[in-house]
Amino acid sequence: MRTTRLKWFWCGIGALLPLFSFSTAWSQGGIDALEASYRFLVSERATRGGALYIATAGDLKGRALPLSFLDSAAYWGTHVCAPPESCAVADRYNPQDYSLAPAPGPAGELQTERVNVHNGANIYDAAVWQIAVVLGQVANGFGNPYAAKAYDLAGHQNLLLRESHCGDAMVAVTGANRAVTRKELFVYNGQEIGDPQNAYLFRMLGRDWLSEDPFMGSPYEALIQVNELPARRPEYRRGKITWSDWKPISGENAWAFLLGPLQAAYLHHIRYLQKTFVPFDDLAVRQALAMLPAFAAMQSEIGAVYYAPAGTAGNVSGTFVDPRQVAVENNFSLYAGLNLLRAILRTELAGQGDLSGRDKRVIREALSTIQTMLHGGQLGRNRSTAGLLDFFRHRAWRDGIFVQGGLANAPGQTDAWVPTLAPKAVDVNTWAVAALGARQIDAWFGNGSAFNLWQQIKSWGAYGVGGTLWGVGFSDQDGNGVTPEGAYRQGIFSAEWSAGAICMLRNMRQYYRGVAAGGGFPDAQRYLERLDGDEQAMLAALGNLRHDRYATVDFPGKPKNYAGMIETQSLPYLYASRRAMIPFGWHANPIPSTCATAWMVLIADDYDPFGYAGRPN
């Protein structure tokens, strides 16, 4: 219900924008104050501690674009850098590649991390943001200060994908952030891609080539020193380092070009404008079609799609990703994205009467490619694949769960599939159920397999207090799980990954409810009761990771004096309950997260991003 309503003004660039309101006590789908959390997604960081910045480069100039996190110098200086002297760095200019970077070592790694967190936008985060921004208007009537139609604001990200340069680039070169093949760099499973519009986008986009350290202008600025700056290049100065994350990843691209923009387009055209189809000329559809050949190129003989093109840097400095590496979670993201694109293309063929003959041929060719990628067949003249479904059923499933990755069709290996059994990943399993559907998993592996998968996840991946489930973390190495006495451990609690788990539970509930009603098997009703209890427990606990509440909850590893550490005028959700190294290659930080907050909008409005029209698969 709505109670108190407060008025507030938004100040745009050079003009006063319309008056908006937000609720302090909105409850939707078990999530209270949803509009105040949504406000984080449509607020500027510089003025209101929100998720957005205003781009200054090329055709992006004046457009509001999302960043992944809201941080502060105080967070890094007092919590991460303990003592502060551990973050003292001396940056150096390299005339060979024009980079300005810290020396190798722990302090340099921390500087790179905080610069990336402060200035970066992961394209997966931005994709979830797109869905939430449009959903907030369509489902709840929420407004934003940038556009009467929320899809216009979400569409700024589609424009960024098209332009593919940094939002604040000093020189706006279209395609600069695309992984175009250059000799041995960025080779797509033996194939070259020369057109930037057909190549993967890098997973994390900075605002500019030279990125500002958040310590500048703070009491920690003195920790940064610089040596040998170039003459007559004023843009190179103390407190700036060059962007260093150039990794084109299949999973992030599946979200960036398929799930995020296509779900947002569906919400706008079909639910908001009440059309029967998403127009073929919508930029989201055009860019999805342009990327389809790259996804197809990356598919292996056994059906799995490779993690990254050859020549992609690894998470450890100086290493490169094995081009035969597979991340199973990436494959579930792509599977869901391909199904979504297929559904949208079919509605266009059925409902859009002004399609040209060429448009229809393009759609049919794309549908044929998607069919092969899902079910197997010939991919071009000299390549074949078993298809994603065959890979999921016969390769990725092991001992009652889905493995997190492995090597596919790797030279020198006697087996076509060599799985990586450790560490175990939470999201590969929660997203698997959401993408495939519990019905499919039980049909393949036996009645109750989806439910039992969730019981396994809880045994090593759940976070809770006493006997009460709160949510999940990231892996089986987080210190989570259940003790022999039945109590939950408190390792690390993730808002985003717990929201994904709720999405999975709702898929299972829908399926087992139908099974129970039909008398399919006697355990279905018991499953339903357990799933209902787990969902309600997690919904109740997730509020503890909201920025305003986090400071009052007794979380292990919580930063001291957190209440005054990060300022915002909205109610975002934190990425995680404490700082920790995630075994898949990045640090979790207890700071406001665009993706976590966007996921909470999806959960509140019961919108499943893995299914067409937001319905469970």
Q: Does the pLDDT at position 6 exceed 50?
A: no
CA 480 to chain centre: 22
d(CA 564, CA 571): 14
For the chain, what is the mean pLDDT?
A: 94
What does the pLDDT read at residue 315?
A: 81
> What would you report as the CA-atom Rg of the chain, rounded to the nearest whole angstrom?
24
With pLDDT > 90 as the criterion, what percentage of the chain qualifies? 91
d(CA 596, CA 501): 13
Q: Rounded mean pLDDT of 315-333?
A: 93
By DSSP bridging, strand 462-465 and strand 417-420 are unpaired
User: What sections of 420-494 are H helices per DSSP?
Assistant: 426-436, 438-445, 449-461
Distance of alpha carbon 315 from alpha carbon 308, whole angstroms: 12
Among 595, 440, 605, 435, smallest CA distance to 40 is for 595
Residue-wise pLDDT tens digits, 393-449: 999 999 999 999 999 999 999 999 999 999 999 999 999 999 999 999 999 999 999
Contacts of 469 (CB under 8 A, 6+ apart): 458, 462, 463, 488, 534, 537, 538, 541
Q: Give mean pLDDT, residues 214-218.
A: 97
What is the C-alpha to C-alpha distance for residues 299 and 312, in angstroms, rounded to an integer? 17
What H or E segment, with its residue span, contains residue 102? strand 99-102
The total number of residues written for the chain in this structure: 617
- pLDDT grade, residue 27 (50/70/90)? low
Residue 310's CB is within 10 A of a number of other CB atoms, namely 18
> Given pLDDT bands bounded at 50, 70 and 90, which one contains residue 19?
very low
Q: Determine the residue type at 517.
A: A
Rounded mean pLDDT, 140-167: 97
User: What pLDDT, on the 0 to 100 scale, is given for residue 30?
Assistant: 79
What percentage of the chain has pLDDT greater than the value 70? 96
Q: What is the pLDDT of residues 74-106, one digit of tens each?
A: 999 999 998 999 999 999 999 999 999 999 999
- DSSP E strand stretches across 261-337: 325-327
66: preceding bond cis by omega (within 30 degrees): no
According to the model, what pLDDT value does residue 20 have? 35
Q: Which of 69, 384, 91 is nearest to 204 (CA)?
A: 69
Tens of pLDDT, residue by residue over 548-572, are 999 999 999 999 999 889 999 999 9
Estimate the crossing angle of helix 426-436 against helix 495-517, to 10 degrees.
40
Alpha helix (H) ranges present in 141-280?
150-163, 250-254, 260-266
Question: In whole angstroms, what is the distance from residue 36 CA to residue 361 CA?
Answer: 46
In the predicted structure, residue 16 carries a pLDDT above the cut 80: no
Q: Beta strands 89-94 and 224-227: pairing type?
A: parallel
One-letter amino acid for residue 129 of the chain: W
Bridge partners, residue 466, by sequence: 488
pLDDT-derived band of residue 13, with 50, 70 and 90 as boundaries? Answer: very low
* 176, burial (CB in 10 Å: exposed 0-12, middle 13-18, buried 19+): middle
DSSP single-letter state for residue 556: T
Q: Helices 283-297 and 357-375: crossing angle, nearest 10°?
A: 40
In terms of Cα–Cα distance, which of 438, 539, 415, 426 is closest to 491? 426
- Contact between 23 and 2 (Cβ < 8 Å): yes
Q: What is the DSSP letter of 441?
A: H
What's the pLDDT score for residue 15?
31
Looking at residue 456, its amino acid is Q
Residue 28: predicted pLDDT: 77
What is the reported pLDDT for 520? 73
603-614 confidence digits (pLDDT tens): 999 999 999 999
**How high is the pLDDT of residue 4?**
31
Query: What is the pLDDT at residue 466?
Result: 97
pLDDT at 5 over 90: no
* 22 pLDDT tier (thresholds 50, 70, 90): very low
Residue type, 474: F
Q: For the full predicted model, state whether its pTM sits above 0.85.
A: yes
pLDDT higher at 304 or 25: 304
d(CA 280, CA 351): 11
Phi, psi for 463 (deg, rounded to 5): -115, 140
Query: Which 3-state string (H, E, C) describes 388-432?
Result: HHHHHHHHHEECCEECCEEEECCCCCCCCEEEECCCCEHHHHHHH
CA dist 463 and 482 (Å) reads: 8
pLDDT digits 0-9 by tens, 463-520: 999 999 999 999 999 999 999 999 999 999 999 999 999 999 999 999 999 999 988 7
Q: Which two tokens stand for residue 19?
A: 């008056």
Kindly report the backbone phi and psi dihedral angles of residue 177, in degrees, each rounded to the nearest multiple of 5, phi listed first: -100, 25
